[in-house]
Every structure is written in structure tokens, then in C-alpha cells.
Amino acid sequence: MNITGGISIDDPAIDLAVVAAILSSNEDIPIGEGYCFAGEVGLSGEIRPVNRVDQRIQEAEKLGFSTIFVSKYNKIRFH
């Protein structure tokens, strides 16, 4: 995905956040401030697991997110 201004993002974990943003905009329903998304979205709509999910969760916590949405197929080690 290319973002205005020339920033290029190549991490597939951003897919779920982009889909959530598009749906939020289309339905005119805001996403809560405490929500974070990390997942790859396949062509048939499945949410695929991402690498380093535990690190992503820890970073989301540090940044103040209260809820993170990930694939049900991710193996998460609870702290």
C-alpha cells in the first residue's frame, strides 16, 4: 500500500487495520481509540496470523492500546 506523501508500507500485518479503516469510513462508524489491529487479510477474507505477534502485543500495550485484534490462528503466549 502506498500512502499519500510517498510512504510505503510492506508489512502484511497492516492489512487488517486498513480493512477496518475502510469499513469504518464506509459505514460512518468510528473505531475506538484503544483498538489496534495486526493481521494479514487473504483474498477470500480470511485473517491470517502474523509473525512476532507477542512483540506486537507488547508494543501495542506500551503505546496505550487496550484491545488488539489478531488472527485466531496466532499462537499467543500470555504474560
- For the entire predicted model, the pTM comes to 0.82
For residue 12, the model assigns a pLDDT of 85
Q: Spell out a b/e string for 40-67, using b for 16 or more CB atoms within 10 Å of the CB, else e.
A: bbeeeeebebbeebeebbeebeeeebee
On the 0-12 / 13-18 / 19+ scale of CB atoms within 10 A, 35 is middle
For residue 9, the model assigns a pLDDT of 73
The single-letter DSSP state of residue 31 is P
User: pLDDT averaged over consecutive 10-residue blocks of the chain (79 residues)?
Assistant: 66 91 94 95 94 94 96 83
